[in-house]
């Protein structure tokens, strides 16, 4: 691995005709973007024109978008589409659960049944090898597929953040190492279909963790996300079998990769990565649908947006997610009577997004976040025990800001809770997204679907990929509203008063009969799941940007 990396570093880019610099332009079809959005609500026209300047745009058929609401249906759909794929499957996830043997068997059968099928899998190196070599991991789970089919048919890559190496990595516990940045995208592609979600590929996400799932049956859009995954794969490690290492595998850096290993020359790696990704993210008047393919009465537009901040030089971040979302939220000031919904299981809203939501003129909004009992870290061991309290603290501060701005009549906060996580019939909450209506409507015309939690971490440390959907199709808008209503079924209001001590008379000690003749003072106590320790306040102050 070291020899190939050194070779790649010194020889593969010795001239200006390197693969990265040659690939400086899209091969996407182009045309003069139509500025006629007159069939959409008048307030949406400037929004669409502004998004046109930020992101590639896809005209899609609203009937080709399917929204799922149930994790079991998501898993069934995933397995079915892998089994039926004819030419390609590409899966991008933070990790694959180390006991997902059924999923591996389905992939095995698909490759066995169809010699033309090729599968690409991209996960995170830190998360995907966390347990190795002491215990099974994502890497060891996938290893038998490589041994059986070879890496020419199943290409398994693991992205490693370029900003962690050497002494710091060697002395920091593995779970803490992940705080330096992760591959966080969730892209699940099959031939000409793509599922965008916030869900990873593990048992809880397939059974009792609430998330969101959008299926797009559109070749152009699927091709685009395939290019996104392929680009990140080309600057990632490849998993290969190894009989010499205790874990049974090694992380190899192929000479065909688009740069050197980041720890060899971080500056060069960032330069090469930015040259690789910039053409995929920027528009320059380009689109992925030719003018002849656009129906005159098109009703739905999809804008892929991605955040790849760790792979761009400081002060020259070409990522599209953050600017696109901030531009979209400016729409809230365009008129009164606009409604919005925001959700994130791990609630730590980026300050600029919070400002846009709280300072809009006359819009009304709902925030849905996970109750501590729906947080996957609830009563876990180690330092993660305090994470639910940390996210609760962020929610409390958000409520305080609502009160400070006198926005109680305009912004409401709800906690999602369905049983107690990690107990029988208990669910966790992992949904993330934004929905926005046009004026005087109850059904959203816009939504954001994908991997981002809309946190400072998402815009500084991790790799994220999402999509903004804008539609005037009544049926799709109704489905989006149904998605919100489904989430609200298990949501209850959260107020500042919930953090105040309340009388707990039943906890008073039994008093002697004589003493009972006099009224005893009430005992006040904060509900257990609303308590926030002093240490959590300090930890959030120091590490809030990594949550």
Please, are residues 195 and 76 in contact by the beta-carbon 8 Å criterion? no
3-state secondary structure of 47: helix
**Cα distances (Å, whole numbers) of residue 23 to 122, 267, 272, 320:** 22, 20, 11, 20
**Cα distances (Å, whole numbers) of residue 320 to 25, 341, 543:** 17, 21, 25
**Cα distances (Å, whole numbers) of residue 354 to 239, 367, 394, 411:** 40, 11, 11, 11
β-strands 154-159, 58-60 pairing: unpaired
Catalytic residue among 81, 98, 160, 184: 184
Tell me the two tokens of residue 369: 């976040």
Half-sphere exposure of 279 (CA within 13 A, CB side): 14
Task: State the Cα–Cα distance between residues 465 and 344, nearest whole angstrom.
Answer: 15
Q: Is 184 a catalytic residue?
A: yes
Tell me the two tokens of residue 170: 């060697």
**Cα distances (Å, whole numbers) of residue 244 to 130, 170, 240:** 19, 21, 12
Task: State the Cα–Cα distance between residues 416 and 486, nearest whole angstrom.
Answer: 11
Please, are residues 265 and 9 in contact by the beta-carbon 8 Å criterion? yes
Q: Is 174 a catalytic residue?
A: no
Catalytic residue among 186, 339, 356, 477: 186
Q: In what order do the strands lie in the sheet with 213-217?
A: 65-68, 213-217, 193-197, 187-190, 88-92, 118-124, 154-159, 237-241, 249-252
3-state secondary structure of 14: coil
Longest CA span, the chain: 95
Catalytic residue among 191, 223, 333, 529: 191
**Cα distances (Å, whole numbers) of residue 469 to 435, 487, 531:** 9, 19, 38
* DSSP secondary structure, 139-191, as one string: HHHHHHHHHHH-TTTEEEEEE--TT--HHHHHHS-HHHHGGG--B---EEEET
Q: What element of type H or E holds 138?
A: helix 138-149
Query: What is residue 508's DSSP assignment?
Result: S
Question: How far is residue 78 CA from its own chain's centroid?
Answer: 18
Which of these, 323, 316, 377, lies nearest to 353 by C-alpha position? 323
Is the N-terminal amide bond of 133 cis, ω within 30° of 0?
Answer: yes
Tell me the two tokens of residue 87: 């030419």
Q: Is 333 a catalytic residue?
A: no
Active-site residue list: 184, 186, 191
């Amino acid at each position: 691995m070291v020899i190939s990396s050194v070779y790649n570093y010194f020889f593969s880019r010795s001239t200006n005709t390197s693969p990265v610099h040659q690939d400086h332009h899209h091969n996407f079809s182009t045309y003069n973007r139509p500025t006629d959005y007159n069939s959409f609500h008048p307030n949406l026209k400037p929004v669409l024109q502004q998004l046109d300047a930020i992101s590639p745009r896809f005209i899609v058929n609203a009937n080709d978008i399917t929204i799922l609401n149930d994790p079991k249906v998501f898993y069934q759909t995933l397995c079915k589409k892998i089994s039926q794929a004819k030419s390609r499957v590409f899966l991008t996830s933070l990790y694959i659960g180390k006991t997902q043997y059924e999923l591996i068997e389905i992939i095995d059968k698909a490759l066995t049944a169809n010699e033309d099928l090729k599968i690409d899998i991209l996960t995170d190196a830190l998360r995907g090898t966390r347990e190795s070599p002491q215990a099974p991991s994502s890497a060891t789970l996938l290893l038998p597929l490589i041994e059986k089919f070879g890496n020419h048919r199943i290409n398994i890559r693991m992205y490693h953040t370029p900003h962690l190496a050497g002494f710091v990595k060697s002395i920091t516990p593995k779970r803490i190492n992940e705080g330096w940045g992760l591959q966080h995208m969730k892209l699940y592609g099959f031939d000409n279909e793509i599922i965008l979600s916030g869900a990873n590929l593990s048992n809880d996400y397939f059974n009792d963790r609430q998330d969101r799932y959008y299926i797009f049956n559109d070749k152009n859009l699927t091709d685009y996300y395939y290019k996104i995954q392929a680009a990140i794969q080309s600057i990632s490690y490849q998993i290969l079998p190894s009989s010499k290492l205790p874990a049974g595998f090694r992380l190899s850096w192929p000479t065909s990769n688009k740069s050197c290993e980041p720890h060899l020359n971080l500056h060069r790696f960032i330069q090469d990565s930015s040259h690789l990704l910039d053409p995929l993210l920027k528009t320059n008047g380009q689109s992925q649908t030719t003018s002849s393919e656009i129906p005159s009465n098109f009703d739905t537009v999809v804008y892929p947006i991605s955040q790849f901040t760790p792979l761009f030089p400081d002060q020259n971040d070409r990522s599209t997610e953050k600017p696109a979302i901030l531009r979209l939220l400016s729409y809230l000031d365009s008129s009164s009577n606009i409604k919005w919904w925001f959700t994130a299981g791990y609630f730590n809203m980026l300050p600029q997004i919070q400002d846009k939501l709280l300072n809009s003129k006359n819009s009304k909004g709902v925030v849905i976040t996970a109750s501590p009992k729906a947080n996957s870290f609830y009563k876990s061991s180690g330092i993660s025990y305090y994470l639910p309290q940390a996210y609760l603290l962020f929610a409390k501060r958000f409520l305080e800001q609502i009160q400070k701005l006198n926005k109680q009549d305009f912004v409401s906060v709800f906690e999602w809770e369905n049983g107690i996580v990690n107990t029988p019939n208990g669910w966790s909450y992992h949904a993330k997204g934004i929905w926005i209506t046009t004026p005087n409507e109850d059904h959203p015309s816009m939504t954001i679907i994908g991997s981002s939690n809309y946190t400072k971490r998402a815009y500084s440390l991790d790799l994220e990929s999402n999509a903004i959907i804008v539609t005037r199709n009544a049926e799709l808008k109704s489905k989006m509203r149904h998605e919100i209503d489904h989430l609200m079924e298990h949501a209850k209001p959260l107020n500042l008063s919930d953090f105040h001590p309340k009388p707990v008379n039943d906890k008073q000690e039994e008093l002697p009969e004589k003493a009972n003749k006099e009224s005893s003072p009430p005992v006040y106590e904060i509900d257990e799941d609303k308590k926030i320790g002093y240490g959590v306040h300090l930890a959030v102050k120091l590490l809030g940007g990594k949550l």
